[in-house]
Chain A
Amino acid sequence: MTLHMKILAGVVRHIILLTTGSLVLAPFIWMVSLSLKPPAELFSSSFTLLPEHWFAVENYTKALTAAPLPRFMLNGVIVCAAILLLQIIICAPAAYALAKIRFAGREVIFGMVLIGLLIPHQVLALPLLILCYWLGILNTYAALIFPFVVSPFGIFLLRQFFTSIPDDIIHAARLDGLSELSIVWRIMLPMSLPAVIAFSIVSVVSHWNDLFWPLLVVQTQDFMPPSLGIVTFANAEAGNDYGPLMAGATLVVAPLVICFFAAQRWFIDGLTAGSVK
C-alpha cells in the first residue's frame, strides 16, 4: 500500500467509526439534550442539541422531587450492595472448597453449580415468588435480595481463579495456623482480585438494571430499584412531562456510565465474561 492510500484508509476508518459511534450514542445525547430543555422547545420542529433557554435546573429539580428518584437510587445502592456482599460471603468459601478441597460429592455439587449457571432466572421467577410469599417478604428489600444471594456464576468464576493458585501457598498458610476460612479471606480472595472485580461489575450492573424480578415482587415506590422506579415514573402522570422524565433517566443511567468510563477495560472484560459464562 502506498503512503497516500494508508492515510486515506485511516481517514475513512475514522469517518465510518465516528458515524456509527454517533448513531450508537444518539439516544444518550438525545436524552441529555431533552433533559436541558423547557417544554416549549421540545415541541418545536427544529432540532437543536442545546436549548435556547436553559431549563436544566427546573427539570432535574422536578425529577428529584416529583418522583422519589433519590429513593430509587438509594434502593439500588442498598440492594446491589447487599446482594454483592452476600454473594461473595457465600460463594468464595464454596469456590475454595470446589477448587482446593477433596471431598466426597464434590463433582455432584459442581454439577449443580453448572445447572444453576444454565437456568435463566425468569424460568424460576414463579416458584421464587411463591417462596417469597411463604416467607412473608414480598414488597421488602429481602425479596429483592434473597433470590440472588448465591450466584452460580460467582462460584464458577472464583473456582477457576482459585484453582490456578498453587497448593504450596495454602500449605504454608496452614502451617502458619490459618483456618480454612481465613485462607479464603486472607489469601484466596486477595490473590483473585481481578475475578472479584469482574464478578462485582457483572453483579452490580445486572441488578441495577434488572426490571423483571423487581416488577414481580415490589409494589410500592419505597422499595423500587432504579430501573423499575424510572419505568413507574414514566407511566405515572409525569409520563408526559418529558424534560423531567429525561432528567430522571439520565440520573438512573449516569452512575454506571461514569464508572464505565473510569474503568472501561474492567467493565468490558467483566461483562463479556458474565454474558458468555
Chain B
Amino acid sequence: MTSEQSATVDRQLRIDTGSAETLAGYALIGPALVLILVLFILPTGAVLAIAATDWHLGAKTLSFIGAANFTSLLADPAFRAALFNTAAYSLMVVPSTLVLGLSLALLIESGKTLRAFYRAIHFLPFMTSLAAMAIVWEMLLHPTIGLVNQVFAAVGLPTANWLRGESTVLPILAVIGTWQSLGLALVLFLAGLKAIPQDLYDAADIDGADGVLDRLRLVTLPSLAPVSLFVLIVVTLRAFAAFDIIQVLTRGGPGDASVMLLYALYRESFEYFRTGYGAAIAVVFLVIVIALATLQARVVNSRASHP
C-alpha cells in the first residue's frame, strides 16, 4: 500500500468521525480510568486531607487542625529518630550498593566466561521474598547458634547480639539492605557498560591509554557517570522504602534505634491508630519520593538529550 492510499484508508478508518473515535477511546480506557481515580488519585487527596485532621481510626468525630500534625512531627523524638535512622541507613546502603555493584559489574564484564551465571547469583536476593529471607537472616545473626557469630568467633573477631544492640542494629540492617539491592545496581551498571561505544576505547588506545587502569579512568568511569547518578537515585528510593526487614527483625527496636519512615507510618496509622498523624508521615514520605523521582526524570532527560 502506498502512503497515499494508506492515508485514504486511514481517513475511512478513522472510525467514521472524531466523536466515534472519542467514544471508542473512552470505552476502552473507561474501566482503567475509573479504577485509577478510585485507587490512586482520590486516595492521594484523602491522605492529604486526613493529614490535616486529628482523626483516630474508628473515631466518629474529627476536627481540622491544619498543619498541627506536621509541627508535632518535627517535635516528636520518635519521628526525628525515624528520619535520622532512615537517612543513616540510606547513607550506609546507597554507597556500599553503588561501589559493590559497580565493582562487580566491571569484574563480570572484564572476562567472557560465566557472565550470565555470576549475574544471576548476585541478582537472586533482589527477587526473593525479603520477609522470608529476613527470617533466615535472623538465624544467621542468632547470638549463639548463628553462622555470623560462629565464623567471627572462629577467626577471632568480636561477636555481638547484632539485632539487639543500639549501635549494631542499623549497620546490620544496612548489610541486609545492601545484600538485597546489590543485584539491581549490578544489572543497571552492566547495561551501562554495554552502552559505552567501542570507539571511545579505540580512541583512547590511539592516544596511548591502553592500560586497564587508564581505560577505566579515562573512558569507563566518565562514561558511567550518568548511569551512576541514575542508580544512586533508584537505590536511594528503595532504601527510603525499607519496611519488611524492620517489621520482621526489629520492630523498630531496641528502643527506637531502627524505626524508619515507613515503619513509623505503619505504627502510627495501624498500631496506635493515630490516623491523622500517620497520614502526615505518609505525606512527608510522598514528598521525599516525588523529589527523588523528579531528580530521576531530569537525569533520564539529560541522558536522552546528551547521549
The residues of A with any CB-CB pair to B shorter than 8 Å are 1, 9-10, 13-14, 16-17, 20-21, 24-28, 30-31, 34, 42-43, 45, 47, 90-91, 93-94, 96-98, 101-104, 106, 109, 112-113, 115-116, 118-120, 122-131, 146-147, 149-150, 152, 155, 167-168, 171, 174-175, 180-181, 184, 205, 208-209, 211-212, 215-216, 226-228, 230-231, 234, 242, 245-246, 249, 252-253, 256-257, 260-261, 264-265, 267-268, 271-272, 275-276
**Cross-interface CB contact of B28 among A175, A180, A228, cutoff 8 Å:** A180
Chain-A contact segment, one of B71-79, B159-167, B277-285: B277-285
What DSSP secondary structure best describes chain A's contact surface?
helix
Asked if B127 contacts A205 (CB within 8 A), the reply is yes
Q: How many A-B contacts if CB must be within 8 Å?
A: 278
Instruction: Tell me whether A230 and B24 are in contact in the complex, defined as CB-CB below 8 angstroms, given that A26-B140, A171-B6 are known contacts.
Output: no
Instruction: Tell me whether A275 and B132 are in contact in the complex, defined as CB-CB below 8 angstroms, given that A103-B25, A125-B269, A242-B139 are known contacts.
Output: no
Asked if A119 contacts B40 (CB within 8 A), the reply is yes
| B28–chain A nearest beta-carbon distance, Å | 4
Instruction: Tell me whether A209 and B262 are in contact in the complex, defined as CB-CB below 8 angstroms, given that A97-B25, A257-B124, A276-B188 are known contacts.
Output: no
Asked if A234 contacts B122 (CB within 8 A), the reply is no
Instruction: Tell me whether A249 and B36 are in contact in the complex, defined as CB-CB below 8 angstroms, given that A168-B1, A226-B129, A268-B123 are known contacts.
Output: no
**Cross-interface CB contact of B47 among A17, A96, A123, A249, cutoff 8 Å:** A123
> Taking the complex as formed, is B275 at the interface, i.e. its CB lies under 8 A from any CB of chain A?
yes
**Cross-interface CB contact of B230 among A27, A152, A264, A276, cutoff 8 Å:** A276
Asked if B43 contacts A124 (CB within 8 A), the reply is yes
> Taking the complex as formed, is B225 at the interface, i.e. its CB lies under 8 A from any CB of chain A?
no
Interface residues of B in 108-138 (CB under 8 A from A): 108, 110-111, 113-114, 116, 118-138
Instruction: Tell me whether A17 and B129 are in contact in the complex, defined as CB-CB below 8 angstroms, given that A30-B140, A268-B123 are known contacts.
Output: no
Asked if B131 contacts A209 (CB within 8 A), the reply is yes
Chain B residues with CB below 8 A from A234, complex form: 135, 138, 248
Instruction: Tell me whether A27 and B136 are in contact in the complex, defined as CB-CB below 8 angstroms, given that A209-B130, A211-B247 are known contacts.
Output: yes
| A125–chain B nearest beta-carbon distance, Å | 7
Give Cα A161 to B203, complex, Å: 36
Asked if A124 contacts B126 (CB within 8 A), the reply is no
Give Cα A152 to B296, complex, Å: 18
**Cross-interface CB contact of B293 among A34, A94, A118, A257, cutoff 8 Å:** A118
17 new A-B contacts, CB < 8 A, other than A26-B147, A31-B139, A93-B31, are A24-B122, A94-B29, A97-B29, A102-B21, A104-B22, A109-B29, A116-B41, A124-B40, A126-B46, A146-B39, A209-B128, A227-B244, A230-B132, A253-B128, A261-B120, A264-B116, A264-B120
Most A CB atoms within 10 A — which of B37, B127, B137?
Answer: B127
* 13 contacts across the A-B interface (CB closer than 8 A): A21-B122, A26-B140, A27-B136, A45-B150, A93-B28, A97-B28, A101-B24, A116-B36, A124-B47, A150-B32, A184-B28, A212-B262, A252-B129
| A38–chain B nearest beta-carbon distance, Å | 13
Give Cα A271 to B234, complex, Å: 13
Tier of interface size on chain B = 35 or more
Give Cα A231 to B125, complex, Å: 18
Chain A residues with CB below 8 A from B183, complex form: 24
Give Cα A115 to B136, complex, Å: 36
Chain A residues with CB below 8 A from B218, complex form: none
